[in-house]
Amino acid sequence: MNDRKPLLSVKELKKTYKTRDGELEALGSVSFDIFPREFVSIVGPSGCGKTTLLKVIAGLLSKSGGDFFVDKDQFDPSREVGFVFQKSLLLHWRKVLDNVLLPIEILRLDRNRYRDRARELLRLVGLEGFENNYPNELSGGMQQRVSIARALIHDPKLVLMDEPFGALDAITRERMNLELLRIWTESRKTILFVTHGINEAVFLSDRIIVLSARPSRMVRTLDIGLPRPRVQEVRISPDFGKYAFEIYQSLELT
């Protein structure tokens, strides 16, 4: 993999917050590369700065030090990053199709040109026929499918996902894991995925980045050699358990 050109390069990225009690160092110094079409997950202790890291890359927070590049260039995250949040954050007064098209309006692109793409993305995420429904008419899992379609509508180079299934029940979460892998395979996007779930990270990922407690530093990266396409049965394989145990051990060292 080292002979390939990274899509995302993070170099000694730092983030410090100013509080009433002084400065709070969230990201100590984080460095890693992500390659095109990879599915990479980030795990670490609660409060270690995983969400902060994603928000800095997405341009939602400013960095305090270090840098990051996409295709070795500075970039416009509003156009080249899609973000799926912990909650779907759909606008309840807008229909599903209009929610998917929201980034197009924000970027002042031609809404009519993207209408067919929005419908195709809804088909991709399994919501064909729900274009005219309102968010409150959908289940939690369906709402997150809409948010995934919305994140893909402007054809970003990189998709950031911040614990998108954390609020779902266990059965729905496992189903959404399978759906996400299908969507990832068909969309051919590069995904950086934050989760507290070690088993979820192992099931989804090509590679896992383990962060230390705050201020975050990278403890290790682990390549996941499980065969693709992934099926639920892989969760009970000896190799799956081995990878999960390695991650648990790494977290105990943080």
pLDDT tens-digit profile of 116-167?
A: 999 999 999 999 999 999 999 999 999 999 999 999 999 999 999 999 998 8
Q: Which residues contact 173 (CB under 8 A, 6 or more apart)?
A: 165, 200
Task: Report yes or no on 208 lying in a domain.
Answer: yes
197 shares its domain with 124: no
93 shares its domain with 55: no
Task: Report yes or no on 189 lying in a domain.
Answer: yes
User: Helix (H) and strand (E) counts for the chain?
Assistant: 9, 9
Predicted local confidence at residue 23, as pLDDT: 85
DSSP string spanning 27-71? EEEEEEEE-TT-EEEEE-STTSSHHHHHHHHTTSS--SEEEEEET
Among 156, 178, 199, the domain-final residue is 156
Compute CA 238 distance to the chain's CA centroid, rounded to the nearest angstrom. 27
Among 156, 185, 206, the domain-final residue is 156
Upper half-sphere CA count for residue 125 (Cβ side, 13 Å): 26
Among 119, 136, 156, the domain-final residue is 156
Alpha-carbon distances, residue 79 vs 68, 70, 104, 105, 147 (angstroms): 16, 12, 10, 12, 16
191 shares its domain with 106: no
94 shares its domain with 23: no
Task: Report yes or no on 115 lying in a domain.
Answer: yes
The helix (H) or strand (E) run that includes residue 14 is strand 8-19
Task: Report yes or no on 84 lying in a domain.
Answer: no
Q: What is the pTM for the complete model shown? A: 0.93
Percent of the chain clearing pLDDT 70 (strictly above): 96
178 shares its domain with 105: no
- The domain in which residue 103 lies consists of 89-156
Task: Report yes or no on 254 lying in a domain.
Answer: yes
Nearest Cα to 158, choosing from 30, 50, 57, 62? 57
Tally the domains of the chain.
Answer: 2
Instruction: Render pLDDT for 43-83 as a digit per residue (tens, 0 to 9).
Output: 998 888 899 999 999 999 999 999 888 876 666 777 889 99
